[in-house]
Amino acid sequence: MSNRSRLEISKKDIISVFENSNKKAYSESDLTGILLEHSDFWRLGQNITTGKLIEFLIKKRILNIAKLKSERGDIVRYYRGDDFLYEIALSIRSRSYLSHYTAVFFYGLTDQIPKTIYVNYEQSRKNTGNVSLKQKGIDDAFKKPVRVSHNIYSCSDHNICVLNGKHTGHLGVCELKDPSLSNLKVTDIERTLIDIAVRPVYAGGIYEVQQAFKRALEQVSVNKLTALLKKINYIYPYHQVIGFYLDRAGCKQKLLDLLVELGMDYDFYLTHQMGKTSYSKKWRLFYPKDF
């Protein structure tokens, strides 16, 4: 019996495996695993390779093919159904999760429809030792341009930006409870606000970040946000930035005090390279003069 005939005979069972899976995007190695797991039940024999299976899946429109183009080298993914871009984005690096402007969009904290999907892949744990902050070091760092990820893939009419985030052990990462989006891994609201305050460049800029804080005010737990911030343990005093945004959004003072209590030991900056600035004495924070 030919390879094509074996696949045709098992077509119904093959389709069933993919239709009963929550997964929408597959790498070649994923499909190799599926072939190894189901080959006996599908009665395919040993001559059916992953390549032949993929050829069959594409021809029968069980899966479609997506080519992700990048300066680092193109990659291929196979997908089914609609709303596949988020899963394709997460398939680039294992144990990654959606974050920043993508999470802002999921929670309805922006009117924009971002054309870039942000995926956070955590770095390994680093021993920072007893790092001692100095005011001049902070001043010099924020005069320079912010470092941004160049690990970007284009797919369809979107870009996928893979971020090498700080190791947190996936603190504040949850599953998005939306059946149409297959329970995607994404930062929760508190972690999202932290992330975009730290890197507004990945959330449309400081004006979009301020809007997100205003919209999130009735949903966010400042207690939880503060607890997350302590656990993440940034070297820089980003709690001053977050307190500033929450204060401007109309947060109650007794909640803002949770952030004040983390210390006001340094002058800090809302973002990098701001030009002319104003200064908040309350938060010891420089921010753009027209903000």
pLDDT value of residue 220: 97
Number of H helices, E strands in the chain: 12, 12
pLDDT value of residue 179: 67
147 has pLDDT over 60: yes
Q: Answer whether 144's CB lies under 8 Å from 54's CB.
A: no
Distances in whole angstroms, Cα of residue 196 to Cα of each of 100, 146, 206: 6, 13, 9
pLDDT digits (tens, 9 = 90+) for 13-28: 999 999 998 888 999 9
pLDDT band with cut points at 50, 70 and 90 for residue 185: very high
Rounded distance, CA 114 to CA 178, Å?
Answer: 19
1 has pLDDT over 60: no
Q: Torsion-angle region of residue 125: left (phi > 0), alpha (psi -120 to 50) or beta? A: beta
Residues 6 or more apart from 245 whose CB is under 8 A from it? 193, 197, 209, 210, 213
Q: What is the pTM of this model?
A: 0.93
Among 86, 69, 68, smallest CA distance to 77 is for 68
Q: Kindly report the number of other CB atoms within 10 A of residue 169's CB atom.
A: 9
